[in-house]
A = this chain, B = another copy of it.
């Protein structure tokens, strides 16, 4: 499948490399490809300089948001949550029309210090905002509840015995995304329901962030433990 991953941070790079390794055609989307490609210094989060990362992933193209989204059947929003709507507007409604749009971003607001707040929250979600802004796209919220390394290699943790959530209005789009998740190794894919259920998946982030602090590692995930048949 031709996949556009919008966003060149840790999550975007990690997803792009994983989909490419699985044999998909992958292109990264960014606001200004020349500026991104020229980055020789570490990013704001201290990761590998983009130029260095790109040298090790020659099969992954780098284009504008609009070019990347326009050529691809499936688009992944891996931009930071505060900039997601602007990034998708730059991609343009035409490039997203009829596409499966996988939203993995979290709407974290760092402007009030740490830990970040969520905005929007409770009666709305970034997933819903994106769906409203691009009614022609088939938005599926997923993967936002775990570290990027676990997103693409769930088996690194407890033999993949943990859970990932799906929210979206289009059943076929959720089936397409489920297939990709299974390719990555996810075994427990829970369909929460329509796109409004993205609120729940996004609102789990404050707990995720505090667990990160308490456990001292991002190498954990949520598992939904269920009772068996006939359990009370």
Contacts and interface: CB of A to CB of B under 8 A. Distances in A.
Stoichiometry (number of copies) = 2
A217 B210 contact: no
A200 interface: yes
A207 B201 contact: yes
Contacts of A219: 226-227, 231-232
Contacts of A156: 227, 231-232
Interface residues of A, number: 45
Contact of A217 (B149, B201, B226): B226
Interface in A117-173: 117-119, 121-123, 149, 156-158, 161-162, 165
A213 B11 CA distance: 30
Nearest to A165: B207
A9 to B, nearest CB: 19
B226 A223 contact: no
Interface of A: 112, 117-119, 121-123, 149, 156-158, 161-162, 165, 190-193, 197, 199-201, 203-204, 206-211, 213-215, 217, 219-227, 231-232
